[in-house]
DNA sequence: CAGTGGTCTAGACCACGCC
DNA sequence: GCGTGGTCTAGACCACTGA
């Protein structure tokens, strides 16, 4: 997608990186133009071609150079501003942020997180059944009581050591039920994404408590050790519940890192 | 800002609430038009006038009724969609979400949270000094070592019971240093907002550990009790560090609830 | 098929920050 | 003053949905 042009035909002012030279738009692509621009600018920032503090070419120039209207270019840059990658200041310009806030691990799964950290994630499947929903689960999934739901209970391993115990409930008709062997090599969110289920939002609650004897044994901790608890309900864009889960993490081995944005 | 008109002059189609009848825009106001619209629509949703599932008037009609262009109206509705209050579907329309995800407690302070819950928050100030930054604090605040920083240590109370111990570091020149008595009645974020400091993003890490003897005593727990730990760095829109804090919460009395949005 | 949101254009004026 | 982003207009065509 990104094309590098080592020498700009006309050097721009010192300190101002000229994105026009490295951005190409494809009018025949189904991908929106503003998205094409944003993607390429983001790549430039990720790769360091656009270093922190670098000023972007201004909207009007960039639009002219790309042969696009200003609103389109503006929409692209706004995407980056919303992500916190650049800062816009009226009368000044747009700059790549200095102190980049780590990309929020929003709506990712533990499996993804561990994969990204090269922690060799593994899974032990304890329960993988379809059963009628009890009252609490029915309320959480927003379905009628005794509706068939998919119940999943797993232990997550990293480098062969237990990290978490995860209990999940999902609508039974959401995706074809995978066998245990599939669940052992793929995260739940990975499976959902693969089946075209797209998460859009989630409600999450994080707390802590002391480990019971059984929990301690399962996770390789001692009784009374602090555990992180996480309860999460995930939704599609249409507001349908995708998944309800209650997870238990060893506090000695895991913490939740994330980025927040905007004052609401 | 919002004006209620009890009787619509011309009843709209059944099931479709006609926002045009209740929305007024003021072209002379310094508040952007799209923001005026979004605010009033949000009020209608909050108040229940726009019930979950209700369809909004479409963009073109609404624009015509308000005497505005479609992009302006669209920007307003997009704000609500970004907040997760409405769902937009091409070929269908815009609906108020059924399963409303609780407003994320993004970048709020514990004091705000407790105030909102009517928990009668209080504060005991343990430390309130300006001192030279050590290596770790200097790195966290992104300032030179031995720069003067404001150090704050407090115990947060709710209904006169201790809930958390909070340690914060801030650039000393950010706001005039308040006396202890001010800190006892106002949250830190409240003070910062009042001084015009606007938080834009934060990096946060939540974990858990067992209470030491001193911590247990301070918080009214027993030694070894599980505590939630939170470490946070807050930034302005320009990427400057506003505050670095390490907090300790009684797990028996507090949990972090928040909403996540978008798949990143 | 008609209706909806998604995208895009080619301009315009304004408010703000800096010089 | 001048350049910047912030806002706004009045159209346009397209893709998708549902009847």
- Ramachandran sector of residue B120 (left: φ over 0; alpha: ψ -120 to 50; beta: rest): left
Domain end (from B96, B120, B150) = B96
Predicted confidence at residue A19, as pLDDT, reads 47
- In DSSP terms, A162 is beta-bridged to A157
Residues B129 and B229 in one domain: yes
Domain end (from B96, B129, B156) = B96
Q: What is the CATH number of the domain that holds B117?
A: 3.40.1410.10
Q: Is residue B1 part of a domain?
A: no
Residues A123 and A242 in one domain: yes
SS3 B93: strand
From chain A, pick out residues whose CB is under 8 angstroms from the CB of B257.
203-205
Predicted confidence at residue A111, as pLDDT, reads 80
Domain end (from A63, A96, A129) = A96
Q: Which string of DSSP letters, residue by residue, matches A165-213? A: EEEEEEETTSSPPPPHHHHTTS-HHHHHHHTT----EEEEEEEEEEPPH
A201 with B257: Cβ contact below 8 A: no
Residues B81 and B161 in one domain: no
Q: Is residue B158 part of a domain?
A: yes
Interface residue of B78, B226, B248, B255 to substitute, partner A, most A CBs within 10 Å: B226
Predicted confidence at residue A76, as pLDDT, reads 95
Helix (H) or strand (E) holding B204: strand B201-210
Domain with B209, as residue range(s), is: 110-250
Would the Cβ of B134 be found within 7 angstroms of any atom in strand D? no
The sign of the dihedral angle between the CA atoms of B142, B187, B165, B207 is: negative
Structure confidence at residue B19 as a pLDDT band (50, 70, 90): very low
For chain B, how many structural domains are there in total? 2
Structure confidence at residue B261 as a pLDDT band (50, 70, 90): low
The sign of the dihedral angle between the CA atoms of B230, B246, A227, B252 is: negative
Would the Cβ of A75 be found within 7 angstroms of any atom in strand D? no
Q: Is residue B171 part of a domain?
A: yes
Residue A107 and residue A69 in contact, taking contact as beta carbons nearer than 8 Å: no
Residues B219 and B148 in one domain: yes
Select from A123, A31, A45, A119 the least CA-distant residue to A77: A45
Would the Cβ of A79 be found within 7 angstroms of any atom in strand C? no
SS3 B141: helix
Q: Is residue A14 part of a domain?
A: no
Residue B127 and residue B142 in contact, taking contact as beta carbons nearer than 8 Å: no
Radius of gyration of chain B (CA): 23
Select from A245, A232, A224 the least CA-distant residue to A206: A232
**A110 or B43, higher pLDDT:** B43
Structure confidence at residue B199 as a pLDDT band (50, 70, 90): confident
Q: What is the CATH number of the domain that holds B36?
A: 1.10.10.10
- In DSSP terms, B155 is beta-bridged to B124, B165
Q: Is residue B5 part of a domain?
A: no
Residues A184 and A145 in one domain: yes
Residues B146 and B233 in one domain: yes
Q: Which nucleotide is nearest to B32 (CA to C1')?
A: D7
Average pLDDT value for residue range B14-34: 74
Distance CA A98, CA A67 (A): 30
B200 with A224: Cβ contact below 8 A: no
Q: Is residue A175 part of a domain?
A: yes
Predicted confidence at residue A101, as pLDDT, reads 57
Interface residue of A201, A212, A240 to substitute, partner B, most B CBs within 10 Å: A201
Distance CA B99, CA B213 (A): 44
Residues A65 and A177 in one domain: no
B263 with A198: Cβ contact below 8 A: yes
Average pLDDT value for residue range A36-52: 91
Distance CA B20, CA B68 (A): 11
Tell which strand C nucleotides have any atom below 7 Å from a protein Cβ. 2-12, 15-18
Distance CA B117, CA B257 (A): 13
**B154 or A102, higher pLDDT:** B154
Residues B53 and B143 in one domain: no
Structure confidence at residue B193 as a pLDDT band (50, 70, 90): confident
Residues B84 and B155 in one domain: no
Q: Is residue B255 part of a domain?
A: no
Cα A62 to the center of its chain, rounded Å: 30
- 8-state DSSP, B19: G
From chain A, pick out residues whose CB is under 8 angstroms from the CB of B71.
71
B106 with A255: Cβ contact below 8 A: no
Nucleotide C6 C1' to residue A118 CA (A): 39
Predicted confidence at residue A107, as pLDDT, reads 59
Mean pLDDT across chain B, nearest whole number?
84
Q: What is the pLDDT of residues A155-200, one digit of tens each?
A: 999 888 999 999 999 999 888 889 999 999 888 988 888 887 878 7
Residues A62 and A121 in one domain: no
Residues B146 and B223 in one domain: yes
Residues A123 and A225 in one domain: yes
Q: Is residue B85 part of a domain?
A: yes
Predicted confidence at residue B23, as pLDDT, reads 85
């Amino acid at each position: 997608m990104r094309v590098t042009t080592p020498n700009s035909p006309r050097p721009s002012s010192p300190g101002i990186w000229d994105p026009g030279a490295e951005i190409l738009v494809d009018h025949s692509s189904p991908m929106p133009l503003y998205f094409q621009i944003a993607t390429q600018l983001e790549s430039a920032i990720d790769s360091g071609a656009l270093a922190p503090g670098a000023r972007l070419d201004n909207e009007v120039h960039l639009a002219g150079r790309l042969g696009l209207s200003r609103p389109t270019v503006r929409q692209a840059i706004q995407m980056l501003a919303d992500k916190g990658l650049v800062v816009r200041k009226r009368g000044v310009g747009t700059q790549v942020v200095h102190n980049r806030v780590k990309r929020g691990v929003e709506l990712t799964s533990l499996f993804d997180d561990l994969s990204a950290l090269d922690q060799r994630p593994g899974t032990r499947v304890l329960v993988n059944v379809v059963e009628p929903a009890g009252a609490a689960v029915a309320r959480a999934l927003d379905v009628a009581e005794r509706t068939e739901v998919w119940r999943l209970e797993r232990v997550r391993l990293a480098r062969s050591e237990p990290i978490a115990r995860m209990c999940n409930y999902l609508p039974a008709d959401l995706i074809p039920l995978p066998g245990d062997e599939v669940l052992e090599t793929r995260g739940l969110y990975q499976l959902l994404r693969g089946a075209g289920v797209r998460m859009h939002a989630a409600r999450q609650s994080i707390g802590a408590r002391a480990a019971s004897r059984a929990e301690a044994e399962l996770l390789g901790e001692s009784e009374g050790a602090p555990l992180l608890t996480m309860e999460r309900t995930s939704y599609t864009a249409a507001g349908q519940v995708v998944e309800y889960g209650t997870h238990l993490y060893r506090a000695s081995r895991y913490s939740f890192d994330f980025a927040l944005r905007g004052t609401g």
